[in-house]
Amino acid sequence: MPIDNSSKRDIRALDLEALRAFFESHNQQAFRADQVYQWLWQKGAHSFEVMTNLSKATRELLDASFVINHIAVDRQQRSADKTIKNAIRLHDGLTIESVLIPTETRSTACVSSQVGCSLDCTFCATSQLKRMRNLNPDEIYDQVMALDSQSRLYFDRPLSNIVFMGMGEPLMNYKNVIMAVDKITAGLGMSPKRITISTSGIPKMIEKLADENPKFQLAVSLHSAREEVRNSIMPFSTSFELPILLKSLQYWYLKTQSKVTFEYLIWKGINDTQMDIDALVAYAKKVPSKVNIIEYNPTDAADFKAADKEVIERYKQALERARITVTVRRSRGKDIDAACGQLANKLVPLEH
């Protein structure tokens, strides 16, 4: 008969001081907490049994008191271009996604921050999934550790970069995302500068983040610098007008001295005119920034078709003439469900 762990608390919800207090309350030396913490957040332990520098009695005490609700890779898809997409099953049965994107020299982890999403970007497959809950710091951490293991297994190297561009809006799970970044940088020994938080643009939270003077990078999913166009493809943005967003990004740069990256998809018949190009150039010039043009990876959204390559080139040339750094990122994983939300849509029932 299976053991019911539902009444047990996940040990990773405790900070180090609370863990020390637990050991002291059970007449054990407080330094045991440091050992357990190292197992959890540096070695990524998924059971108490593997904590071999603890006595059997201590491991049994932990097992009787706590659980470790680790994730499981429920399904994996591998692309011809070596991109790996994972459907991740959480302890409560919900599903999220994570992606490993390799190049010749780098391995980038794309991780989720929420189950589903509360925003309504019409081009995104995740928007078809209602937001069910925020991810805990350990669930974000576990995604990164799983992708790091895959990178070492398939490409013989650790992760080099992490982007929060999976399911969910990271700044709407602010506390847990910040905590997860701290655990990830400590656990993997990775510089925060190699981590990018990608937001759809929530000015108040961008300013809150800037006040903490973080060392990681900030990216904003812009997709149009024309108010009417942006509102049509990202309806929630009617609450965050472009001038207000710009003011928060200027504040970000003032506090951090770190350039903003504008993530920008281009679609046929939506934002592919000269007016759209001119608007982006004018907007990007108002804050130290760079632009990352992303080739659209089609979802089931019939209204969205990738723009012609000639249009992408016109964007690129206009930005370069304005001395704005621009890169064009080709879509990865076209032969698998690699657009955000596609794989999860196939594995969990949609609720509207």
Catalytic residues, by residue number, are 97, 340
Q: Which amino acid is at 343?
A: L
The answer for residues whose C-beta is within 8 angstroms of residue 155's C-beta and 6 or more apart is 82, 102, 107
CA 325 and chain centroid, separation: 23
Residue 25's CB is within 10 A of a number of other CB atoms, namely 8
Q: Which residues pair with 101 in a beta bridge?
A: 108
Q: DSSP characters for 270-293?
A: TS-SHHHHHHHHHHHTTSSEEEEE
Return the closest-CA partner of residue 217 out of 190, 192, 196. 196
Residue for token pair 């608007």: 279
Residue for token pair 């099953």: 89
What burial letters (b/e) apply to 103-141, b meaning 16+ CB within 10 Å?
Answer: eeeebbbbbbbbbbbebebebbbbbbbebbebbbbbbbb
The phi and psi torsions of 111 (rounded to 5 degrees) equal -120, 160
Is the CB of residue 126 less than 8 Å from the CB of residue 116? yes
**What DSSP character marks residue 306?**
B
